[in-house]
């Protein structure tokens, strides 16, 4: 059918580790180069979670070189996904904070399970960290400046119904109909001629993509400086402790 399915399966919560991101980017590149593939549906193979976002262990107590490699991998994933020529549909079948939300925001269309226990948002501020400018740009392109300003400052995680109301996701469906709906949406988007659709997509997203490309090394340096601060390291360690306690 020309449609690939990517199912995140990295227990327990599909954290975006360096390894995960690298594999994700390679998979996207392969599909991009496969002329038989015109679209990809991204979802999770794990229950209740789409992706928990960037893997905090990659940002804690590691070397400067590691931070640089990790951040480059985050950038690479986003550049490939947000700039993909394929039709990209996120079937958000669980919670999707921070980097997980970015993955969904970078797709062409977002369908979410209408379970109010599932939430989505760029909640970095809650952890004492700041979403980089290109997370922000992607967010603003979806929900507009005002909603982004408020949501980013509060580090809000929006329950599915609220996320839908804000335009953060395009549609809510019962969880058991999520994949069926994703396939239907994909078919609708693939009904258009690829060339015109791709040029249109590029026209809409180029300014924001170019901005990271132009400032990529600077953005890596900023990340390293920020994450190397003792205060940030402390925040991240506290957050990890909290997550561990939650599990038990």
Annotated catalytic residues are 54, 99, 123-124
163 binds a copy of itself (CB under 8 A): no
| Distance between CA atoms of residues 218 and 222, nearest Å | 6
As a whole number of angstroms, the distance between CA 124 and CA 59 comes to: 13
37 vs 130, which CB is nearer to a copy of itself? 130
Could you say which of 26, 64, 184, 204 contacts a copy of itself (CB under 8 A)?
204
- Where would I find the beta strands (DSSP E) of the chain? 3-8, 15-16, 39-44, 48-49, 53-54, 87-92, 94-97, 109-113, 119-121, 158-159, 171-173
Which stretches does DSSP call E strand in 116-170? 119-121, 158-159
Q: How far is the CB of 10 from a copy of itself (least distance, A)?
A: 27
Per DSSP bridges, beta strands 87-92 and 119-121 are: unpaired
- Does residue 108 bind a copy of itself (CB under 8 A)? yes
**Please, what is the minimum distance in Å from the beta carbon of residue 12 to a copy of itself?**
26
Question: Quick one: which of 182, 138, 193 has its CA closest to 41?
Answer: 182
Q: Tally Cβ neighbours within 10 Å of residue 216.
A: 16
Sheet with 158-159, edge to edge strand ranges = 48-49, 94-97, 119-121, 158-159
- DSSP β-bridge partners for residue 44: 8
Candidates 9-17, 38-46, 78-86, 153-161: pick the segment binding a copy of itself (CB under 8 A). Answer: 153-161
Q: Using the rule CB under 8 A, is 150 a contact of a copy of itself?
A: yes
The only residue of 17, 85, 233, 235 in contact with a copy of itself, by rule CB under 8 A: 235
State the minimum distance, in angstroms, from the CB of residue 126 to a copy of itself. Answer: 7
- Cα–Cα distance for residue pair 173/246, rounded to 1 Å: 29
Q: Which of 114, 162, 170, 171 binds a copy of itself (CB under 8 A)?
A: 170
Which is nearer to a copy of itself, 177 or 229 (by Cβ)? 229
| Residue 85: CB atoms within 10 Å | 16
CB closer to a copy of itself, 30 vs 234: 234
User: Distance (Å, rounded) from C-alpha 14 to C-alpha 58?
Assistant: 14
| From candidates 3, 6, 22, 189, binder to a copy of itself by CB under 8 A | 189
d(CA 91, CA 174): 12
Which residue, 57 or 188, has its beta carbon nearer to a copy of itself? 188
**Residue 200 interacting with a copy of itself (CB under 8 A):** yes
- By the rule CB under 8 A, 247 interacts with a copy of itself: no
Taking contact as CB under 8 A, which single stretch among the options 11-19, 39-47, 71-79, 122-130 is the one that binds a copy of itself?
122-130
Enumerate binding residues for a copy of itself (CB under 8 A): 108-109, 124-131, 133, 136, 140-146, 148-150, 152-155, 167, 170, 188-189, 192-193, 195-197, 199-201, 203-205, 231, 235
């Amino acid at each position: 059918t020309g449609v690939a399915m990517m199912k995140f399966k990295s227990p327990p919560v599909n954290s975006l580790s360096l390894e995960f991101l690298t594999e994700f980017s390679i998979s996207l590149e392969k599909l991009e180069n496969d002329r038989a593939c015109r679209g990809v549906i991204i979802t999770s193979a794990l229950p209740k979670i789409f992706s928990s976002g960037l893997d905090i262990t990659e940002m804690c107590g590691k070397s400067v070189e590691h931070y640089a490699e990790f951040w480059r991998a985050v950038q690479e994933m986003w550049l490939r996904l947000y700039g993909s020529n394929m039709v990209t549909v996120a079937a958000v079948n669980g919670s999707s904070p921070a980097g997980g939300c970015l993955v969904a925001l970078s797709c062409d269309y977002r369908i979410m399970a209408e379970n109010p226990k599932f939430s989505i948002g760029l909640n970095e501020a809650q952890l004492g960290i700041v979403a980089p400018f290109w997370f922000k740009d992607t967010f603003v392109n979806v929900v507009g400046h005002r909603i982004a300003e408020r949501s980013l400052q509060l580090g809000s995680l929006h329950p599915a119904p609220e996320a839908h109301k804000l335009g953060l996701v395009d549609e809510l469906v019962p969880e058991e109909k999520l994949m069926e709906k994703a396939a239907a949406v994909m078919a609708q988007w693939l009904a258009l001629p690829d060339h015109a659709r791709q040029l249109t997509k590029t026209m809409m997203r180029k300014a924001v993509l170019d901005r990271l490309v132009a400032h990529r090394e600077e953005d890596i340096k900023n990340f390293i400086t920020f994450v190397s601060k003792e205060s940030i390291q402390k925040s991240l360690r506290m957050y990890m402790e909290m997550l561990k306690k939650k599990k038990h």
